[in-house]
Chains A and B, each alone.
Chain A
C-alpha cells in the first residue's frame, strides 16, 4: 500500500498529471526507482477509492491529459496512514521509508512513536532467538573449524537486526532534534 499512499501524498502536496507525479515520486525517493507501471495503477486505485479526482485538461499539442487532485477524504486517509503504526517489521520498514520522504514536521511525533514500535519488534525477535538452543562455544585449545562456523552463522542471523535497530535509532535521534528545534523556533517567534 505504500506506493499508493506516497502518490496520494504527492497529489495532496500539489495536483498534477500522471507522468509529472511519477517524476516527482522518483525525485523524492532517490535511489529507489519506482516504475511508471506502479504509479498509474496506484492513481486509478486512489480515484476508485474517492481519495483523488481526475479531470481532462488540454496538454501539450492540444492533447488531452488526465489531471489529478486530492479530495477531502484523500487528505484524511493520508493523515491517517501517516499516523498509523504497524507492528510488522518488514511492512513498517517499507512504510517508514515512504513516510520519512513525505512527512512534514507535524508528522514527526507520530513517526518517532513508530520507530519505537519497530525497534520493539526487533527486540522481540532477538529475545525469541535467545530462547532457542545456543551452539556450544569451542574450547580455547580446540582447532576444529566447525564450531566456529556454527557460531558465525548463528551470529549472522541477528546482524541485520542490529543494522535495522541502528538505523531506527539514528532516524529517531534526527527527528527528535528537528522537533526540538522547531518547537524552540515556534516559541521564539511568539
Chain B
C-alpha cells in the first residue's frame, strides 16, 4: 500500500499496521533535499536540534514525576517551532534539556553536532552552548546598568567589550529596541523589558533561540509584535526558534506547531508522516 501525502511525501506501508503499537514501515521521499515551502531550511543535511526518545524524571518525595516521556523532535535551521502546553506539561523541562542545562535520563539530545546530555553533565565548566540563545526572565543585577551593557553581558563573557557593545546594539536593533540602549531597567515597561531580554538572548547571534513563554504578561498588541519579531529572526536571519507557550493563539506566526502534556509531545500528521522510520516499532511520541 502506498499513500500520497502533501509536500511530495509518499508513505509506503509494506505490511500494514497489524495492531496498535505494531510495526509501521515508512520510507520517505525527499522532504530533505528541498527547501520547505514555508521558508525554513528543511534541506539541511542534518537537523540543527534533535531529541530522540528523551525521557526526564524528577523525584518528589515518594513520587516520581515523568516530565518528558519518550520525546522525539527535530528543529531545522531557520524553523520557528511553537509548543503549546499548559502548567506543568513539561515545556520548561523540554527547553532546559534541549539547551543542555539539564541532562536527559534516557535518549539522545544533539545540537549543532554536539551531544547535549554530555554537555549538561559538565555545564559548570562550559556554560551555555555558544550557538544557543536562552531567554532569561530577569533584569540586570545592578539597577544603574544601562540596557546596552545588560544586553552585552553574554558576549562580554567571551569577547572584547567593544565587540559586546557592537553586538548588543545590533541585537537591540533587531528587537526594535535601539531607543532603549541608554535607559535603565527600572524605566522600562513590561513589553520593553521583553524586547530587551530577547535582545540579550540573541546578542551572541545564536543558531537556535530557546524561549519559554516569551509573551508572558503582555497585551495582544505587544504579544503580536514580539511574535512577529521572532518570526523575522527565523525568516530573515535564518535563526531557528523553539518557543513554548501556554496560549494557542500565540502559535499562529510559527512554522511548526506541537502540543505537550504530561511530558508527551504530539506533532502534526505531516510531521509524523515524514518520519524517517523504517522497520522500527511505531513511537507514540515521535515528532520529527
Contact = CB atoms under 8 A, between A and B. Distances in A.
Contacts of A110: 20
Interface in B201-244: 220-222, 224-225, 227-228
Contacts of A109: 20
B contact face: mostly helix, strand, loop, or mixed: mixed
A169 interface: yes
Contacts of B249: 154-156, 158-159, 162
Which 7 pairs across A and B sit closest by C-beta, in order of nearness? Answer: A155-B249, A137-B224, A162-B248, A169-B261, A127-B257, A137-B225, A127-B268
Interface string A113-134: 1001001111110110111001
A187 interface: no
Nearest to A109: B20
A163 to B, nearest CB: 9
Contacts of B270: 124, 127
Contacts of A89: none
Interface residues of B, number: 34
B35 to A, nearest CB: 15
Contacts of A166: 86
A87 B118 CA distance: 40
Contact of A165 (B84, B191, B267): B84
Interface string A140-178: 100000011001101110110110011001001100100
Contacts of B284: 116
A166 B284 CA distance: 19
A172 B89 CA distance: 13
A131 B259 contact: no
A140 B191 contact: yes
B252 A120 contact: no
A50 interface: no
Contact of A176 (B222, B224, B262, B269): B262
Contact-residue bracket for chain A:
35 or more
B251 interface: yes
A178 to B, nearest CB: 14
Nearest to B250: A155
Given A169-B261, A172-B261, A126 B225 contact: no
B11 to A, nearest CB: 15
Interface in B69-115: 84, 86, 89
Nearest to B20: A113
Contacts, number: 94
Contact of B266 (A119, A130, A147): A119
B253 interface: yes
B182 interface: no
Contact of A124 (B225, B262, B268): B268
A59 to B, nearest CB: 44
Nearest to A122: B259
A126 B221 contact: no
Contact of A137 (B221, B255, B257): B221
B84 A140 contact: no
Contacts of B254: 130
A10 B64 CA distance: 39
23 contacts: A110-B20, A116-B284, A120-B268, A124-B268, A124-B269, A126-B252, A127-B256, A134-B252, A140-B221, A151-B220, A154-B249, A155-B252, A158-B251, A162-B247, A162-B249, A165-B84, A165-B248, A169-B86, A169-B89, A169-B261, A169-B262, A172-B261, A176-B262
B236 to A, nearest CB: 15
A173 B178 CA distance: 46
Given A127-B256, A161-B248, A148 B220 contact: yes
Given A127-B268, A137-B221, A162 B84 contact: yes
Interface string B255-277: 11111011000111110100000
Interface in A81-96: none
B38 interface: yes
B262 A165 contact: no
B253 A130 contact: yes
Given A123-B259, A140-B191, A169-B89, 20 more contacts: A119-B266, A123-B268, A129-B252, A130-B253, A130-B257, A131-B38, A135-B224, A136-B228, A137-B225, A140-B225, A151-B224, A154-B249, A155-B220, A156-B249, A158-B248, A158-B249, A158-B252, A162-B84, A162-B248, A169-B262
